[in-house]
Amino acid sequence: MPVNNWKKVFWTIWAGQAFSILGSAAAGFAIVWWLTVETGSAMVLTMATMAVFLPQALIGPFAGVWIDRSSRKTVMIAADLLIAATSIILAIAFFIGNPPIWLIYTLLFIRGVGQSFHLPAMQAALPMFVPESELVKAGGWSGFIQSGSFMLGPVLGTFFMTVFSIPAVMLIDIIGAVIAVAALLLVVIPDPQVDPSARQHILSEMLDGWQEIKGNKALVLISIPVLLTCFIYIPLSAIFPLMTSQHFDGTAWHASLIEFLFAGGMLLSGLILGLWGGFKNKFLMINLSLLAMGVAIAASGALPSTAFWAFGILSVLMGAAGNFFNIPFIAYVQEVIPPASLGRVLTLLTSLMSLSTPLGLLVAGPFAENMGVAQWFLISGLAIMLAAVFGCLLTARLKE
């Protein structure tokens, strides 16, 4: 149901989302760095990451049903406001003093609930106003904007933490959410035509999402290496700050530089995909990108503690590889799944990724704490390389 002025709608939405993501990136970095400095514990950081991803695993399948039943624009607005509410509470807590770790975990969990609804609703809304032939490019431009915000977020967070305080960083997140909601109120996003009388029990509709996935053999096969990579990479991303602070003996500015460079890779790849559109064979592009990510992560783990500059370069490659596999994967899902079921399918796939996260975190946290962060980077990179090779074998004879 693409609309004639889809570019105007797209850029209005993403102009607002850029401010929201910028604020969330700044707030997220401030929280993670505070936990890093206060505790220095890989387990604390992995538990914080688990608090964010558990809602996506537990609530995701049900969130997808509500996204398909409701106005996707309304869902995005409600999710933005919920995340902003957690920033208000965090700002007050840090203003009063050092908040207890359990409160941070709780608020991160609530932010995770908001994210469980927001991102799938956004992804499910895109095919409703963007032509199918433009989905990869639209995903590329989305990634470009997100990456730019991710680049500036840690720098902004570090600046405000240094010059002002963490409550000031939370204020940025609140303002960003307000701007994002205002932008959404300015546009009309079509919703799929669904007969209300055809609604079933929420569990039955959730199972319909599973049937959509199972009915597409190609989608099942290409999802396997992607899910394996998420199982390995998401826990690794939780201990990125420890790689900077412990292995390279870095400060908050070093950590924010790595975040900046990682997002720079995402920015570059998003721009390339926005202009180019990627390989015609999305499966090949996904698997090659996973392989490149694995190489960069393994190489990072093999670096000596004096090679921080090389870690920065490899972080650019990691960020670029992430977009080069994720954007074509999401675009493929958007192309092959009917719009009326897209919310359920996207949240189910996200839930599968998130369900693997707690298991990965339970392995990554203790290993990194006892054996060293760099060793875990090396092992994780080799495992992702194997997942990419496995993906190539699975999809070698498939046609989109």
The token duo for 40 is 């220095």
Q: Is 70 within the bounds of a domain? A: yes
| Torsion sign (Cα): 343, 346, 350, 355 | positive
Residue type, 219: L
Which residue blocks in the chain are alpha helix, DSSP H? 6-39, 42-58, 60-69, 72-96, 101-129, 135-163, 166-185, 202-214, 217-238, 240-242, 252-276, 282-301, 308-336, 339-371, 373-395
In degrees, to the nearest 5, what angle opens at C-alpha 69 toward C-alphas 230 and 355? Answer: 20
Q: Which pLDDT value is given to residue 184?
A: 92
Q: Which pLDDT value is given to residue 296?
A: 94
Q: Which pLDDT value is given to residue 270?
A: 81
Which of 269, 317, 309 is CA-nearest to residue 293?
317
212 and 341 in contact (C-beta within 8 Å)?
yes
Enclosing domain of residue 125: 6-186+202-395
Q: Which pLDDT value is given to residue 198?
A: 54
Kindly provide the b/e burial profile for residues 255-275, where b requires at least 16 CB atoms within 10 angstroms of the residue's own CB.
Answer: bbbbbbbbbbbbbbbbbbbbe
Which of 184, 141, 138 is CA-nearest to residue 17?
184
Q: Is 1 within the bounds of a domain? A: no
State the CATH number of the domain containing residue 385. 1.20.1250.20
Q: Which pLDDT value is given to residue 179?
A: 93
Which of 363, 300, 297 is CA-nearest to residue 43?
363
Q: Is 333 within the bounds of a domain? A: yes
Which distant-in-sequence residues (6+ apart) come within 8 Å of 201 by Cβ?
A: none
Q: Which pLDDT value is given to residue 205?
A: 65
352 and 220 in contact (C-beta within 8 Å)?
no
Q: Is 208 within the bounds of a domain? A: yes
Q: Which pLDDT value is given to residue 387?
A: 92
Q: Is 132 within the bounds of a domain? A: yes
What's the domain count of the chain? 1
HSE-CB at 56 with a 13 A cutoff on CA atoms is 25
The token duo for 253 is 């500015």
Residue 90 Cα distances to 22, 27, 179, 381, angstroms: 17, 10, 20, 35
Q: Is 72 within the bounds of a domain? A: yes
Residues in the chain with pLDDT values less than 50: 1
Q: Which pLDDT value is given to residue 203?
A: 66
The token duo for 88 is 């208000």
Q: Which pLDDT value is given to residue 204?
A: 67
- Between CA 335 and CA 327 the distance in angstroms is 12
Q: Is 197 within the bounds of a domain? A: no
Q: Is 51 within the bounds of a domain? A: yes
Which of 142, 151, 152 is CA-nearest to residue 271?
142
Q: Which pLDDT value is given to residue 354?
A: 67
237 and 319 in contact (C-beta within 8 Å)?
no
